[in-house]
Chain A
Protein backbone atom coordinates (compact mmCIF):
# COMPACT_ATOMS: atom_id res chain seq x y z
CA UNK A 1 0.00 0.00 0.00
CA UNK A 2 1.34 3.41 -1.01
CA UNK A 3 2.20 5.67 1.88
CA UNK A 4 0.72 8.65 0.02
CA UNK A 5 -2.74 8.10 -1.46
CA UNK A 6 -4.40 10.63 -3.73
CA UNK A 7 -7.95 11.01 -4.97
CA UNK A 8 -9.49 11.24 -7.39
CA UNK A 9 -7.14 9.47 -9.78
CA UNK A 10 -8.35 11.71 -12.60
CA UNK A 11 -10.68 14.66 -12.96
CA UNK A 12 -12.19 16.65 -15.81
CA UNK A 13 -13.57 20.14 -15.17
CA UNK A 14 -14.71 23.08 -17.27
CA UNK A 15 -12.56 26.17 -17.57
CA UNK A 16 -13.34 28.70 -14.87
CA UNK A 17 -14.58 26.12 -12.36
CA UNK A 18 -12.94 25.31 -9.03
CA UNK A 19 -11.77 21.90 -7.88
CA UNK A 20 -10.28 20.22 -4.83
CA UNK A 21 -7.81 17.36 -4.84
CA UNK A 22 -7.28 15.10 -1.83
CA UNK A 23 -4.23 13.48 -0.26
CA UNK A 24 -4.01 11.02 2.65
CA UNK A 25 -0.65 9.91 3.97
CA UNK A 26 0.74 7.44 6.45
CA UNK A 27 4.39 8.49 6.17
CA UNK A 28 5.98 8.82 9.59
CA UNK A 29 7.85 10.73 10.85
CA UNK A 30 6.65 13.85 9.11
CA UNK A 31 8.56 17.04 8.36
CA UNK A 32 6.61 18.73 5.60
CA UNK A 33 4.07 18.15 2.85
CA UNK A 34 4.43 19.48 -0.68
CA UNK A 35 2.23 19.78 -3.71
CA UNK A 36 3.81 19.61 -7.14
CA UNK A 37 2.45 20.19 -10.64
CA UNK A 38 3.82 17.96 -13.38
CA UNK A 39 3.09 18.67 -17.02
CA UNK A 40 3.30 15.74 -19.44
CA UNK A 41 6.90 15.04 -20.34
CA UNK A 42 8.28 17.51 -17.81
CA UNK A 43 9.64 17.40 -14.29
CA UNK A 44 7.56 18.28 -11.21
CA UNK A 45 7.33 21.96 -10.25
CA UNK A 46 6.80 22.96 -6.62
CA UNK A 47 3.52 24.70 -5.76
CA UNK A 48 3.51 24.73 -1.95
CA UNK A 49 5.47 23.44 1.03
CA UNK A 50 3.76 23.15 4.44
CA UNK A 51 5.37 22.21 7.72
CA UNK A 52 3.68 20.47 10.64
CA UNK A 53 2.59 23.77 12.18
CA UNK A 54 1.02 25.23 9.03
CA UNK A 55 -2.53 24.37 8.07
CA UNK A 56 -2.93 26.44 4.93
CA UNK A 57 -0.71 27.97 2.27
CA UNK A 58 -1.57 29.78 -0.94
CA UNK A 59 0.27 30.29 -4.19
CA UNK A 60 -1.85 32.36 -6.57
CA UNK A 61 -4.93 30.34 -7.50
CA UNK A 62 -3.62 27.30 -5.59
CA UNK A 63 -4.46 26.86 -1.90
CA UNK A 64 -3.22 23.86 0.04
CA UNK A 65 -4.49 22.76 3.44
CA UNK A 66 -2.98 20.36 5.94
CA UNK A 67 -4.48 18.51 8.90
CA UNK A 68 -1.53 16.79 10.53
CA UNK A 69 -3.78 15.10 13.10
CA UNK A 70 -5.81 13.22 10.51
CA UNK A 71 -2.87 13.11 8.05
CA UNK A 72 -4.88 14.68 5.27
CA UNK A 73 -4.14 17.47 2.81
CA UNK A 74 -6.04 19.08 -0.01
CA UNK A 75 -5.19 21.29 -2.94
CA UNK A 76 -7.86 23.74 -4.07
CA UNK A 77 -7.62 25.30 -7.52
CA UNK A 78 -9.70 28.41 -8.13
CA UNK A 79 -10.98 29.66 -11.50
CA UNK A 80 -9.26 26.90 -13.45
CA UNK A 81 -7.48 27.61 -16.73
CA UNK A 82 -6.63 25.35 -19.64
CA UNK A 83 -2.98 25.54 -18.60
CA UNK A 84 -3.87 23.92 -15.26
CA UNK A 85 -4.22 20.60 -17.11
CA UNK A 86 -1.47 18.47 -15.54
CA UNK A 87 -0.79 15.86 -12.88
CA UNK A 88 -0.89 17.21 -9.32
CA UNK A 89 1.28 15.26 -6.93
CA UNK A 90 1.19 15.17 -3.15
CA UNK A 91 4.64 14.61 -1.63
CA UNK A 92 5.66 14.00 1.97
CA UNK A 93 9.11 14.66 3.41
CA UNK A 94 9.68 12.47 6.46
CA UNK A 95 12.66 14.60 7.45
CA UNK A 96 16.40 14.11 7.51
CA UNK A 97 16.94 15.48 4.03
CA UNK A 98 15.03 15.50 0.75
CA UNK A 99 14.22 11.79 0.51
CA UNK A 100 10.68 12.54 -0.58
CA UNK A 101 7.74 10.11 -0.76
CA UNK A 102 5.56 10.80 -3.80
CA UNK A 103 1.92 10.00 -4.43
CA UNK A 104 0.89 8.81 -7.87
CA UNK A 105 -0.91 12.06 -8.62
CA UNK A 106 -4.32 13.29 -9.73
CA UNK A 107 -4.53 13.82 -13.48
CA UNK A 108 -6.51 17.03 -14.04
CA UNK A 109 -7.92 18.03 -17.39
CA UNK A 110 -9.49 21.44 -17.88
CA UNK A 111 -11.78 21.74 -20.90
CA UNK A 112 -13.55 24.59 -22.68
Chain B
Protein backbone atom coordinates (compact mmCIF):
# COMPACT_ATOMS: atom_id res chain seq x y z
CA UNK B 1 0.00 0.00 0.00
CA UNK B 2 2.48 2.57 -1.25
CA UNK B 3 2.08 6.24 -0.50
CA UNK B 4 2.88 9.05 -2.91
CA UNK B 5 5.96 8.12 -4.93
CA UNK B 6 8.14 10.78 -6.49
CA UNK B 7 11.14 10.29 -8.71
CA UNK B 8 13.84 11.05 -9.08
CA UNK B 9 14.72 12.00 -5.49
CA UNK B 10 17.56 14.17 -6.73
CA UNK B 11 17.92 15.75 -10.16
CA UNK B 12 20.86 17.81 -11.39
CA UNK B 13 20.49 19.88 -14.52
CA UNK B 14 22.60 22.51 -16.27
CA UNK B 15 21.08 25.85 -17.15
CA UNK B 16 18.97 25.58 -20.29
CA UNK B 17 18.18 21.88 -19.93
CA UNK B 18 14.77 20.38 -19.26
CA UNK B 19 13.68 18.83 -15.96
CA UNK B 20 10.90 16.26 -15.73
CA UNK B 21 9.60 15.36 -12.28
CA UNK B 22 7.28 12.41 -11.80
CA UNK B 23 4.64 11.73 -9.19
CA UNK B 24 2.54 8.60 -8.66
CA UNK B 25 -0.28 9.38 -6.24
CA UNK B 26 -1.66 7.06 -3.60
CA UNK B 27 -3.51 4.23 -5.37
CA UNK B 28 -7.06 5.34 -6.03
CA UNK B 29 -6.38 9.05 -5.56
CA UNK B 30 -7.41 11.19 -8.51
CA UNK B 31 -6.38 14.61 -7.17
CA UNK B 32 -2.76 15.72 -7.40
CA UNK B 33 -1.10 18.90 -6.16
CA UNK B 34 2.42 20.22 -6.76
CA UNK B 35 4.19 22.45 -4.26
CA UNK B 36 7.63 24.05 -4.40
CA UNK B 37 9.91 24.72 -1.42
CA UNK B 38 12.72 27.21 -1.84
CA UNK B 39 15.53 27.18 0.75
CA UNK B 40 14.48 28.70 4.08
CA UNK B 41 10.90 29.17 2.84
CA UNK B 42 7.59 27.37 3.34
CA UNK B 43 6.01 25.23 0.65
CA UNK B 44 4.24 27.25 -2.05
CA UNK B 45 1.28 25.96 -4.07
CA UNK B 46 1.94 25.57 -7.78
CA UNK B 47 -0.81 23.57 -9.47
CA UNK B 48 -3.79 21.28 -8.78
CA UNK B 49 -4.76 18.59 -11.26
CA UNK B 50 -7.49 16.03 -11.49
CA UNK B 51 -7.21 13.15 -13.94
CA UNK B 52 -6.54 14.68 -17.38
CA UNK B 53 -7.53 18.17 -16.21
CA UNK B 54 -5.71 21.18 -14.80
CA UNK B 55 -8.03 22.63 -12.16
CA UNK B 56 -5.92 25.47 -10.74
CA UNK B 57 -2.49 26.54 -12.02
CA UNK B 58 -2.46 29.95 -10.40
CA UNK B 59 0.79 29.26 -8.51
CA UNK B 60 2.76 28.06 -11.49
CA UNK B 61 4.95 30.43 -13.53
CA UNK B 62 3.35 31.12 -16.91
CA UNK B 63 6.51 30.38 -18.85
CA UNK B 64 8.69 27.26 -18.92
CA UNK B 65 6.55 25.32 -16.42
CA UNK B 66 3.84 22.82 -17.33
CA UNK B 67 2.06 19.98 -15.58
CA UNK B 68 -0.06 17.05 -16.64
CA UNK B 69 -1.86 14.13 -15.05
CA UNK B 70 -2.77 11.71 -17.85
CA UNK B 71 -5.46 9.06 -17.65
CA UNK B 72 -2.76 6.42 -17.35
CA UNK B 73 0.58 6.96 -15.67
CA UNK B 74 2.08 9.42 -13.23
CA UNK B 75 1.66 13.16 -13.01
CA UNK B 76 4.54 15.05 -14.62
CA UNK B 77 5.88 18.50 -13.73
CA UNK B 78 8.01 19.76 -16.59
CA UNK B 79 10.40 22.68 -16.42
CA UNK B 80 11.93 23.80 -19.70
CA UNK B 81 15.18 25.79 -20.01
CA UNK B 82 15.90 25.60 -16.30
CA UNK B 83 17.59 28.52 -14.52
CA UNK B 84 19.43 28.62 -11.17
CA UNK B 85 16.34 30.08 -9.48
CA UNK B 86 14.45 26.85 -10.23
CA UNK B 87 16.65 25.02 -7.71
CA UNK B 88 14.24 23.86 -5.02
CA UNK B 89 12.48 20.86 -3.54
CA UNK B 90 9.34 19.97 -5.46
CA UNK B 91 6.68 18.08 -3.53
CA UNK B 92 3.68 16.26 -4.90
CA UNK B 93 0.60 15.50 -2.82
CA UNK B 94 -2.58 13.56 -3.50
CA UNK B 95 -6.04 13.20 -2.07
CA UNK B 96 -8.92 10.84 -2.76
CA UNK B 97 -11.64 13.47 -2.69
CA UNK B 98 -11.83 17.18 -3.19
CA UNK B 99 -12.87 19.17 -0.15
CA UNK B 100 -11.46 21.75 2.19
CA UNK B 101 -10.94 19.24 5.00
CA UNK B 102 -9.45 16.47 2.92
CA UNK B 103 -6.08 15.22 4.14
CA UNK B 104 -3.23 15.56 1.68
CA UNK B 105 -0.61 12.84 1.47
CA UNK B 106 2.80 14.13 0.44
CA UNK B 107 5.66 12.41 -1.35
CA UNK B 108 9.27 12.73 -0.26
CA UNK B 109 9.98 15.32 -2.92
CA UNK B 110 12.42 15.82 -5.77
CA UNK B 111 15.41 18.03 -5.01
CA UNK B 112 16.27 19.90 -8.22
CA UNK B 113 19.71 21.46 -8.46
CA UNK B 114 20.52 23.68 -11.42
CA UNK B 115 24.22 24.20 -12.10
Beta-carbon nearest neighbor of A51 in chain B: B101
Within the complex, the shortest CB–CB distance from A27 to chain B, in Å, comes to 12
Among A49, A93, A97, residue most surrounded by chain B Cβ atoms (within 10 Å): A97
A43–B105 Cα distance when bound, in Å, is 9
How many pairs of residues, A versus B, come closer than 8 Å at their CB atoms? 67
- Contact (A44, B43) CB under 8 Å given A98-B104, A99-B48: yes
Contacts of A105 in B (CB 8 A): 42
Interface SS majority for chain A: loop
Determine whether the beta carbon of B56 is less than 8 Å from that of A104: no
Instruction: Say which residue of A99, A100, A104 sits within 8 Å of B40 (CB atoms).
Output: A104
- 17 new A-B contacts at CB < 8 Å, known A97-B98, A99-B45, A103-B42: A2-B42, A41-B108, A42-B108, A42-B109, A44-B106, A45-B106, A46-B104, A89-B42, A97-B48, A98-B33, A98-B48, A99-B48, A99-B58, A100-B35, A100-B104, A104-B40, A104-B41
Contacts of A31 in B (CB 8 A): 100-101
Contacts of A89 in B (CB 8 A): 42-43
The yes or no answer to A96 lying at the interface (CB within 8 A) is yes
Beta-carbon nearest neighbor of A41 in chain B: B108
A49–B105 Cα distance when bound, in Å, is 13
B6-60 contacts to A, CB under 8 A, are 31, 33, 35, 40-45, 48, 55-56, 58-59
